[in-house]
Amino acid sequence: MRVRLTVNGEQRHADDVWEGESLLFLLRERLGLPGSKNACEQGECGSCTVYLDGLPVCACLVAAGQAQDREVRTVEGLATGDPARGDRLDPVQEAFLAAGAVQCGFCTPGLVVAAHDLVERVPHPTDREIREALAGNLCRCTGYEAILAAVRLAARWKAGR
Ligand code: FES
Ligand code: FES
């Protein structure tokens, strides 16, 4: 079947989508957006987190067909313009870099989307709120302290705009 959807503000479509195919596969393999990662593909790790109609979801748990006529925003869509051409990253992305919250980086896109959602909803999150917001996102490398520091920093930057 053909699936039409809006991704990062652009109308996109893919043909010959299999009925059991995930939104994650559609994004990565058909639409050329590999930012969302395919770690567990069972809803356990959060590395595939994207916005679907403004709410964060695990893209591996959403059937591609469920995204028909809906709006998806991936980690690639958080930056303003094209970072490869020197345009600005989102403050959450900048904060992850500044705080050294990235090691292998496999978990990072999902954490960035989850943290982005938190700081958009909650201008001054407590540590408890940060931990709760990121509870569905696993990281095997960092021990989480630098990630918490990155989210605190991102919240401060966003609040200070
Ligand atoms: S790849 Fe989707 S939750 Fe792990
Ligand atoms: S940085 Fe490697 S899994 Fe998080």
Atom of ligand 1 nearest to the CA of 24: 2
**Is the C-beta atom of 138 inside 6 A of ligand 1?**
no
Residues 71, 108, single domain; the answer is no
**Is the C-beta atom of 23 inside 6 A of ligand 1?**
no
Atom of ligand 2 nearest to the CA of 104: 2
Q: By C-alpha distance, which of 145, 34, 155, 130 is closest to 100?
A: 145
pLDDT at residue 86 in the model: 65
Residues 100, 145, single domain; the answer is yes
Q: By C-alpha distance, which of 134, 128, 131 is closest to 112?
A: 134
Does any domain span residue 85? Answer: no
> Which numbered ligand comes closest to the C-alpha of 107?
2
Residues 14, 54, single domain; the answer is yes
pLDDT at residue 84 in the model: 63
Distance CA 56, CA 68 (A): 17
Ligand 2 centre and the CA of 137: distance in Å? 10
Decide which of 46, 77, 108 is a domain's last residue: 77
**Is the C-beta atom of 74 inside 6 A of ligand 1?**
no
Q: How far is CA 48 from the centre of its chain?
A: 7
Name the stretches of the chain with pLDDT < 70. 81-87, 161
Q: Which alpha helices (H) appear in 15-126, and where do they start and end?
A: 23-25, 91-98, 108-121
Token pair for 37: 């990662």
Separation in Å, CA 113 to CA 16, 90, 131, 140, 158: 29, 10, 14, 18, 15
Does any domain span residue 56? Answer: yes
Distance CA 39, CA 45 (A): 7
Q: Which alpha helices (H) appear in 50-144, and where do they start and end?
A: 91-98, 108-121, 127-133
pLDDT at residue 8 in the model: 97
**Is the C-beta atom of 43 inside 6 A of ligand 1?**
yes
pLDDT at residue 161 in the model: 64
Ligand 1 centre and the CA of 75: distance in Å? 14
The residue segments making up the domain with residue 152 are 91-160
* Domain harbouring 19, CATH code: 3.10.20.30
* Domain harbouring 129, CATH code: 1.10.150.120
Residues 113, 47, single domain; the answer is no
pLDDT at residue 141 in the model: 95
Q: What total number of domains does the chain contain?
A: 2
Atom of ligand 1 nearest to the CA of 48: 2
pLDDT at residue 82 in the model: 63
